[in-house]
A and B are shown apart, each in its own frame.
Chain A
Amino acid sequence: MLEAISGQYLKSIIFSVQLSAVTALLGMLFGSLVAIAIVSLDRMRGLRNVMVGYSAVAANLGGIPLAFAFISSLGMQGLYTKMLSAIGINLTDLGFKISDFSGIVIVYLYFQIPLMTLVMLPAVDGLKITLKEAAANLGANSRQYWRRVGIPLLSPSLLGGFLLLFANAFAAYATAFALSAGGSRLVSVQIRFFLQGNTITGKSNLGYALAAWMVIVMIVAMSGYLGLRQISERWRK
Chain B
Amino acid sequence: MNRQKLWAKLVLLIVGTFYVLPMLAMARFSFQRVPVIKLGWGTILKGWTIQPMLDAVTSSRFLDAAWLSVRLAVFTALLSMVLLVPTAIYVHVRLKKARPFIEILSILPYVVPPIALVVGISGAMRNIVPSFIASPYSLVPFYVIISLPFSFRSLDIGLSSIDIKTLVEASRSLGAGWIRTIRSVILPNLKVGIVNSSFLTFAVVLGEYTIASLLLKFTLPAYMAESQGNNPQGTFTVGLLLLVVSAALLGVMNRFTRKKGAVVPTVGI
Q: Do A's and B's CB atoms come within 8 Å in the complex?
A: yes
A82:B207 contact, CB within 8 angstroms? no
Q: In the complex, what's the smallest C-beta–C-beta distance from A194 to chain B, in angstroms?
A: 9
Q: Does B59 contact A (CB under 8 A)?
A: no
Within 8 A of B (CB), among A7-53: 30, 33-34, 36-38, 40-41, 47, 49, 51-53
**Does B113 lie within 8 Å of A118, measured CB to CB?**
no
Are A215 and B243 in contact, CB atoms less than 8 angstroms apart?
no
**Does A170 sit within 8 A of B, measured CB to CB?**
yes
Interface check B192, CB cutoff 8 A? no
Cβ-defined partner of B213 (8 Å) among A49, A160, A192, A207: A192
The answer to whether A161 and B269 touch across the interface, beta carbons within 8 angstroms, is yes
Q: Is the CB of B8 within 8 A of A72?
A: no
Whether a CB of chain B sits under 8 angstroms from the CB of A99 is no
Contact B119 A191 (CB under 8 A): yes
Q: Interface size (B, Cβ < 8 Å)?
A: 67
Interface string of B88-124 (1 = CB under 8 A from A): 0000000000000000100100111111100110010
Contact B221 A63 (CB under 8 A): yes
Residue of B nearest to A172 (CB): B113
Asked if B12 contacts A222 (CB within 8 A), the reply is no
Does B35 lie within 8 Å of A69, measured CB to CB?
no
Say yes or no: A73-B26 contact (C-beta < 8 A), given A160-B269, A164-B267.
yes
A residues 160-181 touching B (CB-CB < 8 Å): 160-161, 164, 167-168, 170-171, 173-174, 177-178, 181
Contacts of A73 in B (CB 8 A): 21-22, 25-26
Are A64 and B239 within 8 A (Cβ)?
Answer: yes
Name the residue on A nearest B264 (C-beta). A56
> Given A57-B250, A222-B107, A229-B269, A68–B12 Cβ distance below 8 Å?
no
Q: Which residues of A contact B5 (CB under 8 A)?
A: 40-41
Tell me the chain B residues, 3-17 only, with Cβ under 8 Å from chain A: 4-5, 7-9, 11-12, 15-16
The reply to whether A225 and B269 contact each other, CB–CB distance below 8 Å, is yes
Which residues from chain B contact A207 at a C-beta distance below 8 Å?
Answer: 119
B149 to A: closest C-beta gap in Å: 11
The 8 closest A-B pairs by CB, nearest first: A171-B113, A65-B239, A37-B8, A174-B209, A72-B29, A73-B25, A211-B116, A118-B266
**Extra contacts besides A47-B12, A64-B224, A195-B214 (15): CB < 8 Å:** A37-B9, A38-B12, A41-B5, A41-B8, A57-B246, A57-B247, A59-B266, A65-B240, A69-B25, A69-B240, A72-B236, A77-B35, A173-B113, A188-B115, A192-B210
